[in-house]
Amino acid sequence: MRQTPSKAVPAIELHGLERRYGDRPALAGVTLTVQAGETLVVLGPNGAGKSTLLRVLATLLRPHGGTASVLGHALPKEAWAARKRIGYVGHDSMLYRDLSGRENLLLHARLHRVDEPEARVAEVLEAVGMSKRAGDTVHTYSRGMVQRTAVARAVLHDPEVLLLDEPRANLDPGASELVAPLLAGRTRVITSHDPSDADTADVVLGLKAGRPHPLEGLYA
């Protein structure tokens, strides 16, 4: 299902990326390259532009300046091709609260044209420890269960690039350990408030007020 990432093509390439909300710049001058299989950790205080960066990479927001490409697909022009190869866990669960976990995942599996959707959904639900509650509607889940189901949704189509906006939020240590294998073995972009997450990264980006910033003094 997953395409073989080409080593010659960077998984993510940004040059002078800009994004504004009205007149307010949310991202400016972001330039970086992430190779296939690498992990980029984006650190920064609240409002630094971390989530905006992820939403641009997820094709949900258009860049207003500079260039951005994911797996060689220029955004936003080739967003459609990139979407097949991206998984995104955002602040919101992106799940319908009146559908069950299984129904939500089946919907996304069918939209992503996953082969044998029922079997794949059962597999990822098992992997995140949600098999027993899969038939219950999402609004009955705890926040941790919602987050686990959101992770399952993001990896359903076996994406090469995972965009994870504070993926451990709402997860206890056991649950974090449970979902970790699903997130491994892919190019990952992870936003975090925790500077110790930089230890696990191949590439680290500090952001402050939308601009790249050295890690020293990032939270000052």
Determine if 98 is a binding residue for other proteins (CB under 8 A): yes
Name 213's Cβ contacts closer than 8 Å, sequence gap at least 6: 44, 206, 207
Q: Which of 35, 131, 137, 170 binds other proteins (CB under 8 A)?
A: 137
Q: How far is the CB of 112 from other proteins (least distance, A)?
A: 6
19 or 208: CB nearest other proteins: 19
The angle that helices 143-155 and 117-127 make with each other, rounded to 10 degrees, is 140
Give 42 or 95: the residue with its C-beta nearer to other proteins. 95
Q: Is 169 in the site for other proteins (CB under 8 A)?
A: no
> Judged by CB, which is closer to other proteins: 50, or 112?
112
Burial-class residue 109 by CB neighbours within 10 Å (0-12, 13-18, 19+).
buried
Helices (H) and strands (E) in the chain, counts: 6, 10
102 binds other proteins (CB under 8 A): no
- Indicate if the alpha-carbon torsion angle 155, 159, 160, 166 is positive or negative: negative
DSSP annotation string for 182-194: HHSSSEEEEEES-
Report d(CA 166, CA 35) in Å as an integer: 21
**Does 161 engage in binding with other proteins (CB under 8 A)?**
no
The yes or no reply on residue 122 touching other proteins (CB under 8 A) is no
Among the residue ranges 22-30, 105-113, 124-132, 191-199, the one whose residues contact other proteins (CB under 8 A): 105-113
- Stretch of 6-14, 43-51, 76-84, 171-179 contacting other proteins, by CB under 8 A: 76-84
Residue 72, Cβ neighbours under 10 Å: how many? 16
| Chain residues that interact with other proteins, rule: CB under 8 A | 58-62, 80-81, 83-84, 86, 88, 90-99, 103, 107-108, 110-113, 137, 153
